[in-house]
Amino acid sequence: MTAVTLENVSRAFGPVLAVDRVSLKVEAGEFLTLLGPSGCGKTTTLRMIAGLEENTAGRITIGDAVVSDAERSVFVAAERRRLGMVFQSYAIWPHMTVFDNVAYPLRIRRRGKAEIRERVLKALALVEMEKFADRPAPALSGGQQQRVAIARALVFEPEVLLLDEPLSNLDARLRTQMGDEFRKLQKRLGITSLYVTHDQEEAMALSDRVVVMESGKILQVGSPEEIYQRPTSRNVAAFFGSPNLLNAEVTACQPADNGFFQLDVSGGDWRGRCRAGTHVAPGARVDVLVRPETIALGAQTNGAEALRWSGRVKEMVFRGSHRSIAVETAAQVLRVEAPSQYPVSLGENVTLTAPATSAWAIEG
């Protein structure tokens, strides 16, 4: 069952098109993340679903109900959309207790006192905050405020939960912890969730599917693994970490397993094999994506199909669990992530190898 549908949805602010003909379906119970840099249109898209912004073109459907249709001048107010929302700032009212903060959505809906108490305590229990019910909101830590914001969004049992960068105000350790906890809660409740972030690792860890956006458009939609390992464009590939993108010529193409194709490629002084999502004619130029963590230092075999380069260690940065290494080859400087204990030094000549199964061809 589809929980949210966007059909050619746009939002213009004067001459600026913030969201440009976005079409998307979110399935019931799915955790879907809108990912992209600042100004890409992800928050505006979320706000249009919430009813906090009115789309200037297209149609938005929640469940079976059309909540916004620009052509028919249909617009359902935010408070009538049965959506929960968690903001970046949490929007916790400092003059209220934890209980009163969570109870607010029910009170404005004129629910009875007994029902309010039952639902609030149930929502607080879900986020393990019931013992803080009578505590003043300003006395909470950042992580506790985030939990209260989630409880308030869940208390009236919304059809869809919308989250706009809710972890960005937390430190790195707590951000990871709270993200993991929220994902477990979402899976346990089975609530449809739309999440906005610019943090690639956060999107990878939390999502069933990721929507990569840029300049108001959707670039690619897929599982975290698909988006990371099999991007459809240079822009999507470059958004995650520091990828190696090597220009090469296709010398042969044949079907491989899982519906992919196996390409023989040549970059002049290097050659090997990679995979592609579609058939690519011999003679065509492609960019071969090789992630830094898939490249091995040393003359490892990785089979006859492996990609190989020779070069000199140009830079090294110690990062605790690993070292970020830049190796200057005849083709270009390649980025490598190696174990921190690997014996290598600046200026050393090294051989690099990458298995064909970890290299991906991008056309265009």
- Where residue 300 falls among pLDDT bands split at 50, 70, 90? low
What's the pLDDT score for residue 299? 63
What's the pLDDT score for residue 302? 57
Query: What average pLDDT is seen over the chain?
Result: 92
What's the pLDDT score for residue 214? 96
Does the pLDDT at position 301 exceed 70?
no
What's the pLDDT score for residue 167? 82
What's the pLDDT score for residue 176? 86
Does the pLDDT at position 179 exceed 90?
no
**How far apart, in whole angstroms, are the C-alpha atoms of residue 340 and residue 202?**
24
The DSSP line for 292-314 is: GGGPEESS----TT-EEEEEEEE
CATH code for 2-235?
Answer: 3.40.50.300
The residues near 29 (Cβ < 8 Å, ≥ 6 apart) are 3, 190, 191, 192
Does the pLDDT at position 41 exceed 70?
yes
For the stretch 131-145, pLDDT in tens is: 999 999 888 888 888
What's the pLDDT score for residue 352? 94
The fraction of the chain above a pLDDT of 70, given in percent, is: 98
DSSP state of 213: E
Beta bridge partners of 246: 288
Q: What is the β-pairing status of strands 160-164 and 192-197?
A: parallel
**Per CATH, the architecture of 242-299+306-363 is what?**
Beta Barrel (2.40)
Task: Note whether 332 and 242 are within 8 A (CB).
Answer: no
Helix axes 113-126, 98-107, angle to 10 degrees: 130
**How far apart, in whole angstroms, are the C-alpha atoms of residue 261 and residue 197?**
33
Among 363, 260, 359, 263, residue whose Cα is nearest residue 309: 359
Query: pTM higher than 0.85, yes or no?
Result: yes
**How far apart, in whole angstroms, are the C-alpha atoms of residue 68 and residue 60?**
5
For the stretch 180-208, pLDDT in tens is: 888 888 898 899 999 999 999 999 999 99
For the stretch 201-234, pLDDT in tens is: 999 999 999 999 999 999 999 999 999 999 999 9
- Both tokens of 26, joined, read 């979110």
Does the pLDDT at position 158 exceed 90?
no
Q: Where are the domains of the chain?
A: 2-235, 242-299+306-363
What's the pLDDT score for residue 303? 66
What's the pLDDT score for residue 337? 95
In this prediction, residues 135-158 reach a mean pLDDT of 86
What's the pLDDT score for residue 318? 93
Task: Note whether 361 and 282 are within 8 A (CB).
Answer: no
Q: How many CB atoms lie within 10 A of CB 284?
A: 16
Task: Note whether 8 and 21 are within 8 A (CB).
Answer: yes
**How far apart, in whole angstroms, are the C-alpha atoms of residue 182 and residue 320?**
28
Q: What is the β-pairing status of strands 16-27 and 2-13?
A: antiparallel
